[in-house]
Structure 1
């Protein structure tokens, strides 16, 4: 099968590539940066708090019990955000279209992550619709396992997204430090991601790009879905666009068939395997081998994987989308119930503890 590759977003190491999508840059004509239109989303201001924090250290402000919006404030709508409202701190990450910085809102001292995107790069790569979609979707989602977007603003050259600060960074980084997770930790992350996906699907949102790089770890080591750049609001539930990361693409997507919410269920199974093993299940030397493994669901389970974990992954990684285990049933699966009972939280991570081998 010949599927066009795309470099629209940051790729994972080695053979993990983006499949062809409508976001690829095909138009050589550049558009002026001021032609970028941002979506109209209600903006509310963070709650005032006396918390003080040094923006250049790694200490997390105590956020216990804080609510980040004051929707009832009368002056909320009168005042728009601007860069002068924030003190900028250390960089948290870099991407193809901009950078993420630790920031503190001056009036409330509330600490956030400020994602700065360059309009010219967005327009050159023809992903304006993707950024608009990301903002429109994420601003409206409210779930403990979904990274909050508090609002946004823009100037002549840049777009600024005001995001919840996830202290411990990407799950991908944590996974690489540990090598792999024990079954209890992996089950807790799978449970919490499942809950977030149940919420997304109830809101008619398909994420379409679940992977460790797009999952962040909060102050209490809780999982949070972060990147909604490939997400769609899909009341019709059937999509044709081919997108996402190769290792996590479902069989129906690589074959160009219509896809629905079940693509997220497939990705959940892939993630479960990667958390337990340290590598995605269809990892191969080149993309053609990965495509083949996905298409025929060729999986090898290491001996240390429990039978119940294998059973869950086997029910998620099914070729026929309609036969994949529903998300509500995932939460009732014996592997989840035994390893991630209600109230169980992921253990803190100490990099000096060493890796699993």
Structure 2
């Protein structure tokens, strides 16, 4: 089906502005045709969907209210919606709007046709990305997270499973379930994913936005090596390696990347995200 660009623009305006013909528009499941399942989440399913009037493709995440209430995550889900709906960056997955019925909450999201980044990493030769691809990707994620930080948002769960790939190959940071709006930039909640936890979280100390800088370092290592730097057979050994900064660099990791990683995987004074984007190793691949 060929889509009229004017109709797509009208739909985008209607979604983003929550308006239709000058008055509020109330969306419902009847506006969409559900397609292929894109996966399951903690509280429901994600499907590709087509808006009936224009044929515009989106992803719809349907969350069961009963499961949210049972898990006592009402505040967390509403916080995720509030934060993501206000983020507009080319490397962040858009949340266009949301609506609900008696049983479910529906999130209308940008459709990233390239699927999850972790699948691309798993299928890459030797399970890792070439340095040019890793450098381009880390620039995009650093730019997206920098945008979040400028708006006092910590993501707190950056990892390949929470990053999608658009049709044009660009990355889209997604899943803001652990994100928080923190104007004071100080938090103490331990959250995220084991292999990506920074030392200050493990020690249950007060932390700030630099926890995301640490995660970007772990992410870059995983891009280049195919596994997180502190991965061990059990949680206690993983914690011990994180706390002692026990990073082993295989011989194939380029020296420029090691320099960048050493400035992110540290306990204090981590490199700024502007510093990540302007790092000489990252910059040499931006126009390749």
Equivalent-residue separation in structure 2 for 1:313 and 1:72 (angstroms): 43
Q: Which of 120, 123, 129 is the aligned partner of 1:177?
A: 123
How many Å apart are 1:107 and its aligned residue?
1.4
Equivalent-residue separation in structure 1 for 2:118 and 2:23 (angstroms): 38
Partner of 1:226: 174
Q: 1:339 is paired with a residue of what secondary structure? A: coil
Asked whether 1:68 is paired with 2:12, we answer yes
288-297 or 64-73: which moved more? 64-73
Q: Which of 25, 32, 50 is the aligned partner of 1:79?
A: 25
Equivalent-residue separation in structure 1 for 2:211 and 2:9 (angstroms): 35
Asked whether 1:166 is paired with 2:118, we answer no
User: Which runs of no fewer than 5 residues in structure 1 stay unpaired?
Assistant: 1-48, 53-60, 345-357
Contact kept in structure 1, 2:85 and 2:95, CA below 8 Å: yes
TM-score (normalizing by structure 1)? 0.76
Partner of 1:265: 213
Q: 5 Å matches for 1:97-116?
A: 97-116=43-62
Asked whether 1:330 is paired with 2:282, we answer no
Deviations 1:101-149 (CA, angstroms, capped at 9, x unpaired): 0101111211000001000011111111110011000000000000000
Q: 1:331 is paired with a residue of what secondary structure? A: helix
User: Which runs of no fewer than 5 residues in structure 2 stay unpaired?
Assistant: none
Q: Which of 125, 137, 144 is the aligned partner of 2:90?
A: 144
Q: 1:89 is paired with a residue of what secondary structure? A: strand
Q: Output the aligned Cα RMSD.
A: 2.1
Q: 1:69 is paired with a residue of what secondary structure? A: helix
How many Å apart are 1:314 and its aligned residue?
0.3
Asked whether 1:275 is paired with 2:223, we answer yes
Partner of 1:118: 64
Asked whether 1:134 is paired with 2:86, we answer no
Contact kept in structure 1, 2:13 and 2:19, CA below 8 Å: no
Partner of 2:245: 297
Partner of 1:96: 42
Distance 1:106 1:76, change over 3 A: farther
Q: 2:267 is paired with a residue of what secondary structure? A: coil
Q: Which of 285, 304, 318 is the aligned partner of 2:266?
A: 318
Equivalent-residue separation in structure 2 for 1:73 and 1:339 (angstroms): 42
